[in-house]
Copies of this chain bind each other. A is one copy, B any other.
Amino acid sequence: MKNKIKVFRAEQGWSQQVLADKLGVSRQAVNAIEREKHDPSLQLAFDIAYVFNANIEDVFFPETK
């Protein structure tokens, strides 16, 4: 699953640790999702979109099936 977390995060000037703290997850979780090692849960995807004031569809891009 492609995502633009790094772009949104850079716009806010937040480190992975700062974002992780806002989300209540570990920095490694943010890092793994950002580098697309795995997908976030649906709840976490909502949380991520929320902290960036965006919709899930603005941040995450599934393969068209």
Which A residues have a C-beta under 8 Å from some C-beta of B? Answer: 1, 39-43, 45-47, 50, 55-57, 60, 62, 65
The smallest beta-carbon distance between A41 and chain B, in angstroms, is 6
Q: For the complex formed by this chain, how many copies does it contain in all?
A: 2
Residues of the B chain whose Cβ atoms lie less than 8 Å from the Cβ of A43: 1, 39, 62
Which one, B42, B47, B50, B55, contacts A45 given CB within 8 A? B42
| Apart from A39-B41, A42-B62, A47-B65: 11 A-B pairs, beta carbons within 8 A | A40-B42, A41-B41, A41-B42, A42-B45, A42-B60, A43-B62, A46-B60, A47-B62, A55-B55, A55-B57, A56-B56
Contacts of A42 in B (CB 8 A): 1, 39-42, 45, 56, 60, 62
